[in-house]
Amino acid sequence: MTNLEALYQEVILDHNRKPRNFREMENADRRIEGRNPLCGDELTLWLKLDGNRVSDISFKGTGCAVSKSSASLMTSTVKGKTVDETMTLFDRFHDMITGKLPEADRASMGSLAALGGVSRFPIRVKCASLAWHALKSALEDGGDNVSTEHEGPPQTEGA
């Protein structure tokens, strides 16, 4: 394991042990539940919007270290961003965990880069993307239950 991989591992473990924004939210504008039946990950996501901006975001749930740390990292990163910025980030994050984001671009992902190694473990992609799919659905559709069960296999061409 390289030093960088060890650092990424530590970020994931830290967010799993002490997930950020791990709480229920009163008076949320959006609430959504997501589940990944393949692994048993479940989470509820709450959002508060101020115009076109995500002013507050929180989650609670149970699941593996990847799903929990991904939700923690996602909420930390997205809070304060506009909906447009959030959607762009969703696409880049999804590209990263499915191996489509060039390695050189990974550094631009900030702490989210810690989850880049997931692209080598296709079974874990759904764990890492669960919170993001819930977020996207909450912003686009106003919130409904989402499941990553029917998501297609990750595409690795162009990696």
Q: Which helix H or strand E contains 6, and what residues bound it?
A: helix 3-17
Asked whether position 12 contacts Zn ion by CB under 5 A, the answer is: no
Number of residues near Zn ion (by CB under 5 A) = 5
Asked whether position 64 contacts Zn ion by CB under 5 A, the answer is: yes
- With both helix axes pointing from N to C terminus, report the angle between 65-78 and 3-17 in degrees, rounded to the nearest 10: 90
Asked whether position 49 contacts Zn ion by CB under 5 A, the answer is: no
Asked whether position 56 contacts Zn ion by CB under 5 A, the answer is: no
Binding mask 104-133 for Zn ion (x = CB under 5 A): -----------------------x------
Toward Zn ion, which CB reaches closer, 43 or 127?
127
Exactly one of 4, 14, 33, 39 binds Zn ion (CB under 5 A); that residue is 39
User: Residue 121 and residue 75: Cα distance in Å, rounded?
Assistant: 23
User: Residue 153 and residue 116: Cα distance in Å, rounded?
Assistant: 17
How large is the C-alpha radius of gyration of the chain? 15
